[in-house]
Amino acid sequence: MILSLVDEAVRSGARHQKACEVVELPARTLQRWREQGPEGGDDRRKGAKTPPANKLSEAERAKVVEVATSAPMRDLSPRQIVPRLADQGDYLCSESTMYRVLEEHGLKAHRGPVKARTNKRPKARVATGPNQLLCWDITYLPAAVRGKFYYLYVFLDVWSRKIVGWGVNEQESDDFA
């Protein structure tokens, strides 16, 4: 299959190396497959060729969705559903599998009685002239004694970027700012 795709691309005018990059295989691998016969040789790429034996069936997936959307569980996250089912002696799947199944069915939204948290951006402050908006910064100044610092407070005008005030203190405190 891969050999025929690469051959078709080369016949259409693509370079062999670029065609190999598109199928994400080294050119040498395709060359080795060709040498091994018309079937294309042994595909030794890593990855599962068959689905795992413990993969959930469609009936089990439907049961997971049914349980997650049932009245007592609809407001709970998979992190809470799986232990509750285990307490009842019922094991459907792992927590991560439940997350995957719910995401496949479009059910992985905020689940719970509380509204989802919304992140609000802080209000943008704009200065249209000097001395309208100030910002401040604290810089640590090393003292002669090891481990001791002085704290330099600097106040800047956002518009002109000039220092409008400063002070040095021995303690860091918001009272000085």
**pLDDT for the residue numbered 49:** 73
- Averages of pLDDT over runs of 10 residues in the chain (177 residues) are 82 89 87 76 69 90 94 90 94 94 88 77 91 93 94 94 94 80
Q: Tokens 């910064």 identify what position?
A: 137
pLDDT for residue 42? 65
Distance CA 27, CA 11 (A): 16
- 3 state DSSP class of 102: helix
pLDDT of residue 40: 61
Neighbouring C-beta atoms of residue 145, cutoff 10 Å: 7
The helix/strand/coil state of 74 is coil
Q: Which residues contact 86 (CB under 8 A, 6 or more apart)?
A: none
Task: Give the pLDDT confidence score for residue 38 in this predicted structure.
Answer: 65
Comparing CA positions, the residue from 99, 65, 95, 74 lying closest to residue 83 is 95
Query: Strand pairing of 163-169 and 149-157?
Result: antiparallel
Sheet with 134-142: list strands edge to edge.
Answer: 134-142, 149-157, 163-169
Does the pTM surpass 0.85? The reply is no
Which pLDDT does position 43 carry in this prediction?
Answer: 66
Neighbours of 93 (CB within 10 A): 20
d(CA 112, CA 135): 40
